[in-house]
Structure 1
């Protein structure tokens, strides 16, 4: 038996600038035909074909590098702190370095604020003493009710005077680290005024009720 060569296919002429399609020969009988090769589209002349981008994987436990900040955005990290000027600088012996001592921020005195609250409360309660003392002088109960409020006003006035004096002393000993000397003085004055008003109102209420 003689083997005959299969006829060669005749392809039409291809215009200039185009790629000629690949020729596929028929496979002999009894053999499995291989799949045709895939042909990617050719890039235009003068341009490089695109390179496929595959996702980048990182090993376990390794963090990917952070992307640089965009233009106009602050970089991540600790922000600088503006410290106040040091009060004094102590030179460390034997070294060219020094220890800067920063001043503590000033705070308001709580004792002075308490003195002002007690003093204002004493003045307000002393006004109530006068109101009840004058309103109940004709019925005879003015002295009793005014006396109850007078005790409260006197206690608040004494507390305002004492706390005001303690606040002034505390601020003086703090050497400028505490503020509120004016508040302490105002509390001391209000406490003294409330104490005097309450005492005079009580005496007046008793005298009017008895008369």
Structure 2
């Protein structure tokens, strides 16, 4: 039975600033069947200590600096990012809803013309489509006004215009669809 070599002894953690001693692997006299054991040294890597204190933050350049009366200090006023208009987004949502409901007016008006119920069902949906279209028009106009008065701090003018146009198209499609549905139901 061969004798096991002793385990290498690792040093304890050195105090801060001192170099840790490098451990030496003990050599074992080679036997007839073994080649000589190579010499090696391992240098342990100590973890780096993180830097104390807050991390630096890069702020945008101030828009203006106002002096604080009676002190040598100043107040830096930072610019705010642009915001999107919620009124404009609501205008687009109601305008698209008006167009979709006006398509239902046309579908029910044309499908129910033969049995005679088309004008009644189309009229119920036409009321909803006309109200949504009017809301899209009014909200689109209010959204454009809000963006204009915000003096460049608000975005969404294109969304407000799209909502206004969709609301007008939905309003007109629903009104014309209701007229066609009533005419087809009365003629049947």
TM (normalized to structure 2)? 0.69
For 1:160 and 1:187, locate their aligned partners in 2 and report how far apart those are by CA, in whole Å: 6
1:171 correspondence with 2:150 = no
Give the alignment's Cα RMSD to 1 decimal. Answer: 1.9
Report the structure number with the largest CA radius of gyration: 1
SS of residue paired to 1:199? helix
Q: 1:201 aligns with which of 169, 174, 177?
A: 177
Cα deviation for residue 181 of structure 1 reads 1.2
Query: Which residue of 2 is the match for residue 147 of structure 1?
Result: 123
SS of residue paired to 2:63? strand
Please identify which structure carries the higher helix content. Answer: 2
1:132 correspondence with 2:108 = yes
Where do residues 81-100 of structure 1 align in structure 2 (5 Å cutoff)?
Answer: 81-92=57-68, 97-100=73-76
Where do residues 153-192 of structure 1 align in structure 2 (5 Å cutoff)?
Answer: 153-192=129-168
Per-residue deviation, residues 77-117 of structure 1 (Å, max 9, x unmatched): 32222211111223456766533211112211111111110
Mean Cα displacement is larger for which, 194-203 or 106-115?
106-115
Where do residues 6-25 of structure 1 align in structure 2 (5 Å cutoff)?
Answer: none
SS of residue paired to 1:86? coil
For 2:167 and 2:112, locate their aligned partners in 1 and report how far apart those are by CA, in whole Å: 26
Number of aligned positions between the proteins: 142
1:115 correspondence with 2:84 = no
SS of residue paired to 1:90? strand
The 3 A distance-change label for structure 1 pair 158 and 76 is farther
For 1:74 and 1:194, locate their aligned partners in 2 and report how far apart those are by CA, in whole Å: 63
Cα deviation for residue 205 of structure 1 reads 0.4
For 1:148 and 1:93, locate their aligned partners in 2 and report how far apart those are by CA, in whole Å: 66
TM (normalized to structure 1)? 0.62
For 1:110 and 1:193, locate their aligned partners in 2 and report how far apart those are by CA, in whole Å: 21
SS of residue paired to 1:85? coil
Per-residue deviation, residues 132-168 of structure 1 (Å, max 9, x unmatched): 0001111111100000000000010011111111111
For 2:60 and 2:108, locate their aligned partners in 1 and report how far apart those are by CA, in whole Å: 56
Query: Which residue of 1 is the match for residue 3 of structure 2?
Result: none
1:103 correspondence with 2:79 = yes
